[in-house]
Every structure is written in C-alpha cells, then in structure tokens.
Amino acid sequence: MIDPVTPSILMSVQSGIEVFAVIAFALSGLAAGLRVGMDFVGICFVAGVSAFGGGTLRDVLLDRRPFFWVEQDHLLWLVIILCLLASIFVRRSHAELTEKWIQVPDAIGLGLFAALGTQIALIEGASIIVAVLMGVISSTLGGVLRDILCNVVPKAFSDHQPYIALAVLGSIVLVGLDRLDVTPWISLVVAVVITTVTRLIVLALNVSIPAWRA
C-alpha cells in the first residue's frame, strides 16, 4: 500500500515523470501538427492538448484540484518554448518528419502517464479497476485527441498494434507491485519501463494483433 503522506523521494520521482511525460507528448503533438502543415498557433494547440489532455481528465475524474498545470504553470511555458524551437529547427533543417517522430515520444509518454495515473489514483484511494482505468485514460487520451485534431483516425483504435493494451499492462504491473509492498517510486519506474520498452519493441518489430472479424 502507498502511504498517503507520500515521502519526498516519491514526490520528486512523480514530478520528474510528469515533466518528462508532458515533454514527450508535446513533442509527439507538435510533430503531428507540423506534418499536417499547421501554423504556429495550431502547433501549440495540438502540442498542448496532447501534453495536458490526459492528465487533466484524470484530475477531473479523481476530483484533484488545482490541476497539475495550474500548480506548475511553467509546464505551459515549456510547451510553448518547445513548439517555438521545434518550428524553427524544422524550417531551418528541412528535416523530414517521419511517423517515428510522433511514435517514439508517444511511446515514452504512454509509459510515463500510465504508471503515474495509476499510482495517483491508488494514493487517492481508488479501487484497483478504477486505478487501472485512470492509468489508461491519462496515458491514451492525449494521443487520441492529437489524432482527432489532425483529422486522423486515432492510431490507438485503428493500427492493430498493442497500444492501449500496453497502458493496461503497465497499470496492472503498478497495482501488482503496490500490493507486493514494493517501494512506490521503484514500482513507478518499473511500470514505466515495461510499457515504454514493450511499445518500442512492438513498433520496431511491427507486431500486430488480429481484428476479431477478418
């Protein structure tokens, strides 16, 4: 069980994970926006929705206030600066924005938010299934909204590669380690690594799950 009076090492790890998850999803969002030819404001919008969408719904559903981006509003500035740098870099370098530029940060953000969302829900006293659900929602919503804004059918539903399933896996691992009384920040790191690494392997090997109906 996680002690509600969370010791400071756990809080530091959680804060770090939140920052990295926001950066990862912001990168995937701005790459997606750049690919479809949005202007600067559009890119900031998509990056922001990708980065903050999942965590905001998590906080609404768990009734946590203030939102994490109100408490730490430097994250908002960070996303704007990232968008600015990326836009300049892409213009200067004429780099080709391949699908990988979206998928790799997305895989990192997926693992980070799935584990973090599940742990936050457990700390707030949620039941196992609700905690897993919070991990899944907070890690997948950003990407789904990003795809909808870019007018793409959400990859989470359409590409038949494990994606939501890996968020579920990471969330279940975290719940399991929590029940085994593993130190919370270690559980967090392990669950993140499992989801992200598995997702990266899935992408590298092009693993696919069959649809139920051929």
Instruction: Note the residues at the interface with a second copy (CB under 8 A).
Output: 34-35, 37-43, 45-46, 56, 60-61, 63, 65-67, 69-70, 73, 76-77, 87, 90-91, 97, 126-127, 129-130, 133, 148-149, 151, 153-154, 156-157, 160, 162-165, 168, 209-213
Minimum distance from CB of 7 to a second copy (Å)?
27
Minimum distance from CB of 87 to a second copy (Å)?
5
The amino acid at residue 42 is: G
How far apart CA 42 and CA 135 sit, in angstroms, is: 28
Report residue 193: phi and psi, to 5°. Answer: -60, -45
Minimum distance from CB of 110 to a second copy (Å)?
13
Closer Cβ to a second copy, 89 or 186, answer by number: 89
Minimum distance from CB of 104 to a second copy (Å)?
20
Closer Cβ to a second copy, 69 or 185, answer by number: 69
Contact 174, 192 (CB under 8 A): no
How far apart CA 203 and CA 198 sit, in angstroms, is: 9
The amino acid at residue 77 is: W
Distances (CA, A) of 134 to 39, 57, 188: 33, 9, 15
